[in-house]
Amino acid sequence: SRFGLSNKFDTEFPSVLTGKVAPEEFKTSISRVNACLRKNLPVNVKWLLCGCLCCCCTLGCSLWPVVCLNKRTRRSIQKLLEWENNRLYHKLGLHWKLSKRKCETSNMMEYVILIEFLPKYPIFRPD
């Protein structure tokens, strides 16, 4: 799994993937995800600040745009990972997905990119 910060995922090539995928392909895929986050984060922060300022007057309803924007960002990353899987990683026996996990240091939740190895199907075995 690749642990994400608040606005980007680590681009360091994991040693577990050596021989499975080229470091350049891995970096390109992570860069695409980070570009998606970089594009959406400033808009989310602006809405969050606006929502926090108006929170008392609107009884918390001003934070709904932030929730919707975060959900949209999460969906766009999931679609991007699905496209990457279909383009390359399923052919290599890997599957990338976005998953929510509890932080080790606190009770906060964070999103991680899980890289799973797909089982190899025995193609020479009769049905």
Chain Cα centroid distance, residue 8: 9
Quickly state the pLDDT bin for 77 (edges 50, 70, 90).
Answer: very high
* pTM value surpassing 0.85: no
- Range(s) of the domain holding residue 29: 20-54+61-117
- At residue 116, the pLDDT reads 92
Is it the case that residue 28 has pLDDT exceeding 60?
A: yes
Q: Put residue 14 in one of left, alpha, beta given phi > 0 → left and psi -120 to 50 → alpha.
A: beta
Q: Per the domain annotation, does 127 fall within a domain?
A: no
Q: Per the domain annotation, does 103 fall within a domain?
A: yes
Quickly state the pLDDT bin for 49 (edges 50, 70, 90).
Answer: confident
How many domains does the chain fold into?
1
Q: Per the domain annotation, does 14 fall within a domain?
A: no
